[in-house]
Structure 1
């Protein structure tokens, strides 16, 4: 990491640290109810308890690796990530070919666009009753909701990427004798890649939002379920600890996707350096 990046990272920490200091000060002075809003130190203690395993099994036998990764937070994070990845793969896997077809063929676009425009404004959470009726409880309804959340961002961005190809390139390729297949593979698809990757970033972010809602309704593990469970017992510190875990995981996913985008778009204007 360069010095400039280090300075930017340090600058970005100033406001969160000030907010934490003010929060801790208000809690220490008794200005806020600890049951409603526990102090940052209380939340940190609960987060550590949530992270570390409660059972001595594994530690006593000397298998520290198994013991370390048997904590409740690790299990919940892995469960949520599994649903996000599978649901996103299903949604993006359906959206990508459909988006390429709609973007490259006016006939397909004319047939499919009215249906897409009717379904697109419906939020994924509106499908919760149907998902439970169709799939019951467990992972299938959660994956179904996540797939819907990821489907439309990838689809719309893919369509936009293919349809926004500069007509100069298309005319030049046709004048050089390129057929429709060559136009699609050598002109339209490469030009649409930045749009597709932007849709992937938005789609996986939406998938992570939807998984938390789905876990509060249809499953019995995961970060969303644990927050709902903590609410039932009025464990405010565990609720906030779970929220912080979601934020950290979401930040890690976004940084990973951004790095992947920058790597794949090295050739794109503005990312050469």
Structure 2
């Protein structure tokens, strides 16, 4: 085995070690808090109770159904939001007049919580998948759009002058110069959008859906199953972590392809 492979495996082993210690610390603090609180486990479940509840909802298929529903809504809302926001951000970031025209509107709408739009969303789309998808779209769109537009505006002018001097066409300038130069800032916005969209997915499902991880929280609360509620919260956190990890991996692979990150 080469030294490069050994270094890679060693790095991964250290990473997993830190993750294991962090998880153990979290569970320990959780158990100590339960023990010192004196609250009945039916209201404040211990890690063991939550784990048993997790096995229960895995065994009867409940968790699988809700995860599939949530991931479908998240994938549709997030991918559509990112695609439109990146394309729109590049266009508006490139054309300064359009940016100056649209920026006040964006800054007016951006601070409004997606949940504030929920009554209008439910009136327009009813209940089911669409309210959650639209909520995710709103939560993900603004961070990506703003980061992309600012990233494009901050591309050094010297890059563009060199490209024009070498006769690079306008389409190639966008794809080979502007997009790679703005990519780190775009991915920063996507990371923010991912966390925000995942949070608001759960909120949207708690209001306008009959399935999903957010709905499972409401259902567990209504049935006084705090152990299932705690298990669901942990699963939501784990999936969010996995999504962020997958995004970072994809970002790293793209940067390696462009020669902007070391192997």
* TM-score, normalising length: structure 1: 0.86
Looking at structure 1, the residues matched to 71 and 218 of structure 2 have their Cα atoms a distance apart, in angstroms, of 18
How far is 1:171 from its partner?
2.5
Instruction: Report what 1:162 is aligned to.
Output: 152
After superposition, the CA RMSD in angstroms is 2.1
Instruction: Report what 2:188 is aligned to.
Output: 198
Listed as ranges, the gaps of 5+ residues in structure 2 are 1-7
Q: Residues 104 and 184 of structure 1 are in contact (CA less than 8 Å); yes or no, is this contact kept in structure 2?
A: no
Q: For residues 198-251 of structure 1, give each alpha carbon's deviation from its aligned partner in whole angstroms, at most 9, with x where no partner exists.
A: 322322222211110000000111000011111112211111000011011111
Structure 1 pair 219–14 and aligned structure 2 pair: CA distance change class (3 A): same
Looking at structure 1, the residues matched to 174 and 34 of structure 2 have their Cα atoms a distance apart, in angstroms, of 61
More off after superposition, 256-265 vs 107-116: 107-116
Q: Which has the higher helix share?
A: 2
Q: How does 1:39-54 map to 2 (within 5 A)?
A: 39-53=46-60
Instruction: Report what 2:137 is aligned to.
Output: 147
Q: How does 1:178-193 map to 2 (within 5 A)?
A: 178=168, 180-193=170-183
* TM-score, normalising length: structure 2: 0.89
Looking at structure 2, the residues matched to 46 and 112 of structure 1 have their Cα atoms a distance apart, in angstroms, of 49
Structure 1 pair 5–185 and aligned structure 2 pair: CA distance change class (3 A): closer
Larger RCO, structures 1/2 (Cα 8 Å, 6+ apart): 2
Does residue 1:79 correspond to 2:69, yes or no?
yes
Count of aligned pairs: 256
Does residue 1:10 correspond to 2:22, yes or no?
no
Listed as ranges, the gaps of 5+ residues in structure 1 are 54-70
How far is 1:172 from its partner?
2.4
More off after superposition, 261-270 vs 249-258: 261-270
Stretches of 4+ moved more than 6 A in 1?
none
Among 28, 32, 35, the alignment partner of 2:39 is 32
Looking at structure 1, the residues matched to 138 and 202 of structure 2 have their Cα atoms a distance apart, in angstroms, of 14
